[in-house]
Amino acid sequence: MGTGSISILFHAFPYGHSEGMQIASLVFMFLNLILFLVFSVVTLARYLLFPRVWQFMARHPVQSLYVGTFPMGATTILNIAVGVIHDHYGFGGKQILYLIWACWWANVAISLTCCFGMLHFMKTAQKHSLESMTAVWLLPVVTLVVASSTGGVIATSLYNYNKSDAMITVVVSVFMVTVGLALSFMLLTIYLLRLIVYGLPPGATVLSVFLPLGPMGQAGYSILLIGQFFNKVLPLHKSNSTLLTAETTGEIINVICTFVAFALWSLATMWIIFACLAVQDVLRQTRIKFRVPFWGLIFPNGVYANLTINLAGTFDSSFFRILGSIYAVATLILWVFVAIRTVILVRRRTIFEAPCLEDVDIRQFNLRQNQCDAGSKPKSMATAISATTSNFN
């Protein structure tokens, strides 16, 4: 997700629309693709070798929520596949676009499953309290918002080949961003109550206060794309609908969507202020130790920068253009810092964590292959289980 957002920022950067920027976007996209495939394989191996780990993970009130990062990571790949590979370089033509479209439908199914499935699981199989709540609760519902933005990207290109397929894609995207954004507002209301009543999350957990930028920024971007799409395709000339055939319908929808996108940008800016105040307050009391949750800083800030840059194009505003560029560069610097620190800690083998297994006796697990005597290799099993958990962050 974080690496994918950097790829998107290179593609959208408002200054220096050179071939080098698009190549840099492709480099980060393929790096993102490699990481996505590697961690997917490792995670699959984890659950095949240790089947009961899935049960423990699914019932963990925090780690299970990171399942939502899987479809969100895939959407960042699809966005660049359309914007750079298909639109900019024209690679693959109609065939590659429809392949991406098929992948998007699979991603939509996974996103819907993550959202409704995890929310149901939170209500029926997990124990939660207001005091223990963090912004990580947003992850299952943000999957719909992120997938909807990819639908907006694909629909614009798909319209050149099949108007009906493009309209279906946008309608599904409108449904997803509506549901995802509504659920996000509900959870953010509860989260603000939690912060007021119980104070800031302790230690590195305080970094989760940046997560609200995700649904606000990505929903704004998705709604902005939806408005631009309807402004392009409406009015319809072969329809019995008086609404869709009216001359000004597309313009009205575009204006409304632009206003909503700006409102969401404003709310995201509000959460940035809250987050910065929270982090400085914690830093004045203690040092925040580098851990995997630092990666959670990149995607929310990246989508905020992307929305700012797109608003700059919509309003032809130097303010948004400069602010978006500065924020995009700052996000890239943050990515470099987090990536370097991660590589260092991976070499030291001190970054891997498996919170869902902290209270579990791993010797009860049965390996499918190379089964050893009980207790002979508990340490190696723990290492194998822990080493695969980084995928969820």
Domain definitions of the chain by residue range: 2-392
**pLDDT tens digits for range 42-80:** 989 988 988 888 888 888 888 889 999 999 999 999 999
- The confidence score (pLDDT) of residue 357 equals 58
Q: What is the pLDDT of residues 230-277, one digit of tens each?
A: 999 988 888 788 888 888 999 999 999 999 999 999 999 999 999 999
- Structure confidence at residue 37 as a pLDDT band (50, 70, 90): very high
pLDDT in tens, 85-122: 999 898 888 999 999 999 999 999 999 999 999 999 99
| pLDDT score at 188 | 96
Instruction: Give the model's pLDDT for residue 100.
Output: 96
Asked whether the predicted pLDDT for residue 31 surpasses 90, the reply is: yes
Q: How confident is the model at residue 389 (pLDDT cuts 50, 70, 90)?
A: very low
The amino acid occupying position 170 is: V
- 7-18 mean pLDDT: 90
pLDDT band at 368 (very low <50, low <70, confident <90, very high): very low
Percentage of the chain surpassing pLDDT 70?
89
Mean per-residue pLDDT, 292-320: 94
Average pLDDT, the chain: 87
Integer Cα distance of 87 and 26 in angstroms: 13
CA distance 181 to 317: 26
pLDDT of 203 over the 90 cut: no
Residue 12 vs residue 63, higher pLDDT: 12
Q: 2-392 has which CATH code?
A: 1.50.10.150
